[in-house]
Chains A and B, each alone.
Chain A
Amino acid sequence: MLARIAHELFWLGRNITRAEHTARMLDGVFQADLQARPSGPTGVAFGWRSILATMGVDPGTAPVRRDDVLRRLTLDRDEPASIVSCVERSREQARTVRDVISAEMWESLNTTHLRLRDGDMEGRLATSPYAVLRDVRERCALFWGLMQRTMLRDEARSFLVAGGRIESADMVLRMLRVALPGDEVSSSDGQALALLQAVGGFQAFRRAVPAPANARPVMRFLVYEAAYPDSVAASIAGAQVQLEVADHAPRSSEPVLRLSRLGADLELRARSTEGDDLAAVCAGVQAELAAVDRDIAERYFAGAAPLGVVSTV
């Protein structure tokens, strides 16, 4: 397939997933914040300042207020990390790959974009952030659901899904690193619980893990649990499978090999029950993912000439 199209699809998958995860995170943090008591056992899950840092946004020096962060990361069109910006980017990407994805996928994404552009969104966000963020989550889920039903299982789909899986792993790692300051002992159980709620994994955790929802089991669940679709390990395995399908020679593919090494490493660590430094593991995985990103760009997208530049014969 066209290198440019593969690139657009990969980033379309990433942008949609980023929008969904940002909505989940904001919703989880908002709920935890409302219920927080300064002296209570759950505490404030993440500070709003660290939320901005998680999303790569400079929080500045002025005091950070909840409503500002919510608005900035949801509806601010000048903020590249905001949900509305992610959706807008993915819509533009979908526009250029309209002939590759199904019409229903494009329509659902276009509708999501139009809804977010609607005039009363600021008001809705102020009165009921839950309704707005739930809407975003559901619209993103609808996109993936329509993909399952209507898109051909070909390499185009593989790049789309691979982008989504890599973004998913990256977002969970970002959140974990904010919740896990250098020494993980200090991270409270409340933080872990809020994180679990934010990624939508509370019920899955309850069913999969007999332990109480304390910090350490929750963190391990989010990193290692292969049966939980949004764990870092599951996302990495998913991305690897997709690239194997898309690649014409997967055995000599650097991104496939790197993902496979990373997956095996996580599996090994998952079996050892004691004493691993989760913060260090997360940092290591994030660095590896960045390398995977570079490998992918080099192997699949390098053929795509940079936009606006005409190549010579």
Chain B
Amino acid sequence: MVEPFAVREPNVYRPSRGGFDEVFALGGIPREHAQALVAELARLGPAQLAEAGRLRDAIFVQQGITFDATGEDGPVRDRPFPLDLVPRILPADEWASIERGLEQRIRALNHFVDDVYHGREVVRAGVVPWRLVVSRSHFARAVHGVRPPGGVYCHVAGCDLVRDADGSWKVLEDNVRTPSGISYVLENRVAMTRLVPRLFQHYRPRPVDHYPQLLLAALRAVAPGADEEATVVVWTPGPHNSAYFEHAFLARQMGVELVEATDLVVRDDVLYMRTTAGLRRVHAVYRRLDDDFADPLEFRPDSLLGVPGLVRAYRAGTVAVANAFGTGVADDKAIYHYVPAMIRFYLGEEPILDNVETYLMSDRAAREHALSRMDELVFKPTGESGGKGVFIGPQTEPDVLAGLADVVRAQPDRWIAQEVVQLSTVPTAGPDGRIAPRHVDLRPFAVFGEGITIVPGGLTRVAMVEGSMVVNSSRGGGSKDTWVLEPGDRPGPRPADELPPPVVPLPGLRQGSDWTGQQQQQQQGRG
């Protein structure tokens, strides 16, 4: 039995009122799966944690694992991506249910995208209004009637999950365009083993480093013309994109080219890249930019980032694009409202993961209800991502809310309102190494190739300021390494740790305790 943390440390840990703390239950007693972690943190103490934090910043800056953020004094370039040194631990059974829930959700979303551009059964059945679908900015007429290889649209998905005050998991939004963050999941794990190796002593978190191989296999699986070795590329908007680090990381990990628009050219409806030996055919593109910018002939004509003719090549079936064009329609916050209904409609199942209570502003009754409770709700524009344009009612001035009400009334289709979720907290180390509760969310990553695979854990984003619920890295949030335990894994010393390490004599060394008389005799006998 581990003592309450507060007894061991002058640094008293006070979970926020009314929220769910993932490590400490009521009375400051650590939950069972976290007891070994708490004991180890107490042993490390604030000074060592702070020291490890300084080392982390130095390493991240050196390795260029940095992020461009917006601080109070304007934009901050090359800020080390903030990794909190206290991991978040998810027991196996809890993860198993998240995994099933996400797979179900992604399957339904994929059905939905296919349906939108083909039969529209979901509309004819009256589940989702067509007017809503066609008014989405990510609805792509250009790919109407086109079915990608294998019928997969959402090759890569990253759904954001939060835990409510009672600890239950809810989906906050679906990201099926270009969800970022997986590189930090992989880098964080490596960094943790270097910075706080002792924390791994009692846990064996499930590995995450197979993601690039999963992604590559998924891309190869959908590449047309697979009689030859498929050429896969990662397409980045360029080094000035805030997620460029991730684009380069994925290309490097997969061993494929990282291309920009100027490297690509379409000839006779076939996509090529420009190489030192002339043009070379490309079979599959993992693109990290939105439809809008992908092809100036089909989408925004002013895009300098695009490849003219790419959509034609895609329609001709000579190249696979992940995620498929038009997928963004499922990434919309108004469409999100209908996902539980889609699961029932397409799969005939009950949703395993619930949505956060959401009000569509296009619905008159819901709108009046939400506008009468503006100071209690969160208002989000439907087509944005990364926390842009979000108003949190309880933290917004009344006159701003009054102005917002006019905006919402003028364009109700463009807004949703959600109940505020009292995000769960996890112990987090401050710059001085002291532990305090901070709010978190979770973005697990899924790859849809021949089947759906979900990387254990995902990117836990953490608000670095006390009480804040803003976890977006672009707005100063940090991250945590997220450990999913194996089924039946009970924290405790690893069996291997109890064995003495084997003594392996180094060749060429003539001295040392392992150079025994017996070996000497053997050597002499040979000579």
Q: Chain A interface (Cβ within 8 Å of chain B)?
A: 1-6, 92, 95-96, 98-100, 103, 106-107, 110-111, 114, 155, 159, 246, 248, 299-301, 303-313
A6 proximity list for chain B (CB < 8 A): 276
A-B contact pairs, 16 of them (CB 8 A): A1-B276, A2-B257, A2-B259, A2-B273, A3-B274, A5-B257, A95-B244, A95-B248, A103-B63, A107-B62, A110-B63, A159-B276, A310-B261, A310-B304, A312-B308, A313-B309
Q: Beta-carbon contacts of B234-270 to A below 8 Å, as 1s and 0s? A: 0000010000100011011000011111110111000
9 further interface pairs, Cβ-Cβ under 8 Å (given A99-B258, A310-B307, A312-B308): A2-B259, A2-B273, A2-B276, A3-B276, A92-B239, A103-B63, A107-B64, A248-B276, A305-B262
> CB of B500 within 8 A of chain A?
no
- Per the 8 Å Cβ criterion, residues 221-240 of B in contact with A are 239
What number of A-B contacts does a CB cutoff of 8 Å give? 91
- Determine whether the beta carbon of B266 is less than 8 Å from that of A310: no
A2 proximity list for chain B (CB < 8 A): 257, 259, 263, 273-276
Bound form: Cα–Cα A174–B277 in Å: 32
- Determine whether the beta carbon of A303 is less than 8 Å from that of B62: no
CB distance from A153 to the nearest CB of B (A): 15
Instruction: Please name the residue on chain A nearest to B305 by beta carbon.
Output: A310
Instruction: Please name the residue on chain A nearest to B248 by beta carbon.
Output: A98
CB distance from A274 to the nearest CB of B (A): 43
- Determine whether the beta carbon of B306 is less than 8 Å from that of A310: yes
A5 proximity list for chain B (CB < 8 A): 257
- Per the 8 Å Cβ criterion, residues 269-296 of B in contact with A are 273-279, 296
CB distance from B68 to the nearest CB of A (A): 13
A313 proximity list for chain B (CB < 8 A): 265-267, 297, 308-309
Bound form: Cα–Cα A98–B61 in Å: 15
Instruction: Please name the residue on chain B nearest to A101 by beta carbon.
Output: B252
B259 proximity list for chain A (CB < 8 A): 2
Bound form: Cα–Cα A3–B260 in Å: 11
A305 proximity list for chain B (CB < 8 A): 262-263, 265, 274
CB distance from B319 to the nearest CB of A (A): 14
Interface residues contributed by chain B, number (CB under 8 Å): 34
- Determine whether the beta carbon of A303 is less than 8 Å from that of B279: yes
A106 proximity list for chain B (CB < 8 A): 63-64
- Determine whether the beta carbon of A307 is less than 8 Å from that of B274: no
Nearest 6 pairs of A and B residues by beta carbon? A303-B274, A99-B252, A99-B251, A305-B262, A98-B248, A300-B276
CB distance from B161 to the nearest CB of A (A): 30
B275 proximity list for chain A (CB < 8 A): 1-3, 303
Q: Beta-carbon contacts of B403-415 to A below 8 Å, as 1s and 0s? A: 0000000000000
* Interface core residue of A4, A114, A159, A246 (most chain B CB under 10 Å): A4
CB distance from B297 to the nearest CB of A (A): 8
- Determine whether the beta carbon of B62 is less than 8 Å from that of A111: yes
A110 proximity list for chain B (CB < 8 A): 62-64
Partner of A304, one of B248, B274, B308: B274
CB distance from B185 to the nearest CB of A (A): 17
- Determine whether the beta carbon of A307 is less than 8 Å from that of B262: yes
Q: Beta-carbon contacts of B300-318 to A below 8 Å, as 1s and 0s? A: 0000101111000000000
- Determine whether the beta carbon of A4 is less than 8 Å from that of B62: no
Instruction: Please name the residue on chain A nearest to B304 by beta carbon.
Output: A310
CB-CB under 8 A for A303 and B260, given A110-B63, A310-B306: no
Partner of B276, one of A107, A155, A306, A307: A155
CB distance from B307 to the nearest CB of A (A): 8
CB distance from A161 to the nearest CB of B (A): 15
Q: Beta-carbon contacts of B110-128 to A below 8 Å, as 1s and 0s? A: 0000000000000000000
Partner of B308, one of A96, A303, A310: A310
Partner of A303, one of B257, B278, B306: B278
- Determine whether the beta carbon of A4 is less than 8 Å from that of B274: yes
Bound form: Cα–Cα A300–B62 in Å: 32
- Determine whether the beta carbon of A96 is less than 8 Å from that of B239: yes
- Determine whether the beta carbon of B239 is less than 8 Å from that of A95: yes
CB distance from B257 to the nearest CB of A (A): 6
B306 proximity list for chain A (CB < 8 A): 310
* Interface core residue of A103, A308, A310 (most chain B CB under 10 Å): A310
CB distance from A117 to the nearest CB of B (A): 10
* Interface core residue of B64, B248, B306 (most chain A CB under 10 Å): B64
